[in-house]
Amino acid sequence: MKCKLAFYFSIFMSGMYANAQPKPTATLIITNAAVYTVDKQHPTAEAVAIIGDRIVAVGSSAEIDVWHGPETKVIDVGRKLVLPGFNDAHVHFIQGGAQLDQVQLTDAASPEEFAKRIAAQAKKTPKGEWILGGRWDETKWPKQELPTKELVDGVTGSAPIFVERYDGHEALANSAAMKLAGVDAKTKDVPGGVIVRNASGNPTGIFKDAAEELIYKAIPPISHEQRVRVARRALEHAASLGVTSVQHMNPEFADVAAYSELAEKGELTTRIYAVPMETDWRDQAKVGIRHAWGSSSLRLGAVKGYADGSLGSRTAYMFEPFADDPGNRGLLSDEMHPPSAMRERLMGADAAGLQIRVHAIGDRAISMMLDIFGDIEKEHGYHDQRFAIEHAQHMAQKDFERFARLHVIASMQPYHAIDDGRWAEKRLGHDRARYSYSWRSFLDHGVTLAFGTDWPVAPLDPLQGLYAAVTRATLDGKNPDGWIPEEKITLPEAVEAYTMGAAFAEFQEKDKGSITPGKLADMVILSDNIFSTKPEAIRNAKVETTIVGGKVLYGAARNR
């Protein structure tokens, strides 16, 4: 394959003296590699040359060797696979960083184990501090029943706790937490939320969706120093997994301030597109921020909203009732009370040039958001808005065509399918589940897929997501050939969704997403060539080296 050199000629060669100028040399060369570029014009290569933070050439090892100079660092990867850095299109980055040091309940396989871990956390938590985190999943328990405050009151005493279900759409508070929040039997439900109550009308400790805020408002905010420390933990974790860019959904502006400080110090090692709440869209609009505004390290210019809840918490908003809860069709979020208010805010955000991204999981919630996107396009015309529906998990078949016609991006998290697929049909029934996590259907309709994880709802590891997209083999081992196998996609398609698709979702496809001359030098080296292994082995591969902006951030490789 011919080496692509044109990008830097205009920088290093000029006018009639071009031939007299010394040829530039690379600061870093990656060679003897199996490079999968995600560049359809030149899909494979053996080597890459980098100057500073940009790729200057991609080609054979012999072609790239001409870029070698006395100061060039060379990484010989021994024919291992090199991919563009992974771009997670949907994370909660600070929350994920905090969870790394909080109580971990995801794999607690029984209520007893749940309480045991809470008790251990309570013993090491300083007096007056809250016990947070959790990510519990009652579907893994022998009796799939929600926990109650009685399960933990005896082991926590006066220490307040508020631990989230793994989907983040419901959480458990103990009596101490409810007392601090002023919540009791007289507390009324809030629009878009539910306080779960026992037969006597007393709160059980479970708060769903908007009702969670009744407890959250009592939790003291973390300090700036704590936020920076948590961000560093998240950055280290991302580098270890080859995640070179993330799109942080619903950050507080205090999170952005922490990122800004780290960027100023040269320590923001993961590129971040921050997407605050749509209810605060004027905060960006009033200072003239538009989509994808900022530097290659930190950008703003988008807003994120919620249309509904989650399938696991039975708060996804559906056309028909849940199969295992016949009186329940789910909940519209508090932002959708009424839908006209959401429409008005998003209309204003689009007029201001901000990108709009909305969480919608249930088929009816998705359909309502497509209605609003259609109204915005009628009002303002199509101007490459790149609307995105986050999750887009349970589709009505009629809406795939609308997704494509309105150029809406499907920002999805493949790991959710192999996790939720353990029980989703109990919620929906077999026929309604057919268009759940419908990656194949979206691609066949010409819809752009952008993959991510929703970390800390799911692991940040992109290789687990690639495995899920290709196999759809549920975590319980009961669907080895794939749950709804019709919706599997190929490995090249899945890698593209995690790189170019995610870059497109943040207006950065010209700067990253593929290993192409001129783009940012963000790459990962894997332990195994996942294109030549069996699909079920993809999840066993590891990231050996992570490179961001031409700098090796994680791992080691052989130098020549």
* Structural domain of 178: 95-216
Q: Residue 11: is its pLDDT beyond 90?
A: no
Asked if residue 506 belongs to a domain, the reply is no
Instruction: Please indicate, yes or no, whether residues 65 and 112 belong to a single structural domain of this protein.
Output: no
pLDDT, averaged across the chain: 94
pLDDT by residue (tens digit) across 96-137?
Answer: 999 999 999 999 999 999 999 999 999 999 998 999 999 999
- DSSP secondary structure code for residue 15 in this structure: G
Amino acid of residue 545: T
Phi, psi (deg, nearest 5) at residue 34: -105, 95
Mean pLDDT calculated for residue range 534-546: 97
| Rama region for 546: left / alpha / beta (φ>0; ψ in -120 to 50; rest) | beta
User: Where does a domain end: 172, 190, 216?
Assistant: 216
Instruction: Please indicate, yes or no, whether residues 184 and 110 belong to a single structural domain of this protein.
Output: yes
**Which residues, including other chains, have CB under 8 Å from residue 456's CB and lie 6 or more apart?**
92, 95, 96, 99, 135
* Spatial distance between the Cα atoms of 470 and 464, rounded to a whole number of angstroms: 10
Q: How confident is the model at residue 557 (pLDDT cuts 50, 70, 90)?
A: low
Mean pLDDT calculated for residue range 272-285: 98
Instruction: Please indicate, yes or no, whether residues 51 and 134 belong to a single structural domain of this protein.
Output: no
Asked if residue 172 belongs to a domain, the reply is yes
More confident residue, 461 or 167: 461
- DSSP secondary structure code for residue 402 in this structure: H
Q: Looking at residue 305, what is its pLDDT?
A: 98
Structure tokens at 477: 């081992």
**Which residues, including other chains, have CB under 8 Å from residue 124's CB and lie 6 or more apart?**
none
CA distance to 171, 415, 449, 497, per residue, from 489 (Å)? 34, 13, 11, 10
CATH code, domain with 126: 3.10.310.70
Q: How confident is the model at residue 23 (pLDDT cuts 50, 70, 90)?
A: confident
Residue 41 in 3-state DSSP? Answer: coil
Q: How confident is the model at residue 17 (pLDDT cuts 50, 70, 90)?
A: very low
**Parallel, antiparallel, or unpaired for β 170-173 and 551-555?**
unpaired
Instruction: Please indicate, yes or no, whether residues 112 and 188 belong to a single structural domain of this protein.
Output: yes
**Parallel, antiparallel, or unpaired for β 409-412 and 449-451?**
parallel
* Spatial distance between the Cα atoms of 295 and 315, rounded to a whole number of angstroms: 37
Percent over 90 (pLDDT), the chain: 94
Answer for the pair 446, 405: CB distance below 8 angstroms, yes or no: no
Give the CB-side neighbour count of residue 158, counting CA atoms within 13 A: 3
Q: How confident is the model at residue 21 (pLDDT cuts 50, 70, 90)?
A: low
* Spatial distance between the Cα atoms of 534 and 458, rounded to a whole number of angstroms: 23
**Which residues, including other chains, have CB under 8 Å from residue 430's CB and lie 6 or more apart?**
none
Asked if residue 537 belongs to a domain, the reply is yes
Amino acid of residue 220: P
* Spatial distance between the Cα atoms of 497 and 504, rounded to a whole number of angstroms: 9
Mean pLDDT calculated for residue range 313-324: 97
Instruction: Please indicate, yes or no, whether residues 3 and 42 belong to a single structural domain of this protein.
Output: yes
Q: Looking at residue 522, what is its pLDDT?
A: 98
Q: Looking at residue 22, what is its pLDDT?
A: 72
Q: In the chain, how many domains are there?
A: 2
Asked if residue 395 belongs to a domain, the reply is no
Q: How confident is the model at residue 454 (pLDDT cuts 50, 70, 90)?
A: very high
* Spatial distance between the Cα atoms of 219 and 226, rounded to a whole number of angstroms: 15
CATH code, domain with 11: 2.30.40.10
Structure tokens at 112: 């007893």
* Spatial distance between the Cα atoms of 389 and 379, rounded to a whole number of angstroms: 20
User: Where does a domain end: 185, 216, 247?
Assistant: 216
pLDDT by residue (tens digit) across 357-377?
Answer: 999 999 999 999 999 999 999
The alpha carbon dihedral of 417, 421, 427, 430 has a sign of positive
Is the peptide bond prior to 459 cis by the omega test (within 30 degrees of 0)?
A: no
User: Where does a domain end: 216, 241, 268?
Assistant: 216
pLDDT by residue (tens digit) across 144-166?
Answer: 999 999 999 999 999 999 999 98
Structure tokens at 423: 């029980």
- Tell how many helices (H) and how many strands (E) occur in the chain: 20, 27
Instruction: Please indicate, yes or no, whether residues 53 and 112 belong to a single structural domain of this protein.
Output: no
Instruction: Please indicate, yes or no, whether residues 100 and 149 belong to a single structural domain of this protein.
Output: yes
Instruction: Please indicate, yes or no, whether residues 114 and 42 belong to a single structural domain of this protein.
Output: no
Give kind and range of the element (H or E) at residue 104. Answer: strand 103-104
Q: Residue 12: is its pLDDT beyond 50?
A: no
Q: Residue 330: is its pLDDT beyond 60?
A: yes
Asked if residue 205 belongs to a domain, the reply is yes
pLDDT by residue (tens digit) across 412-443?
Answer: 999 999 999 999 999 999 999 999 999 999 99
Asked if residue 248 belongs to a domain, the reply is no
Asked if residue 31 belongs to a domain, the reply is yes
The span from the first CA to the last CA of the chain, in angstroms, equals 23
Phi, psi (deg, nearest 5) at residue 6: -60, -30
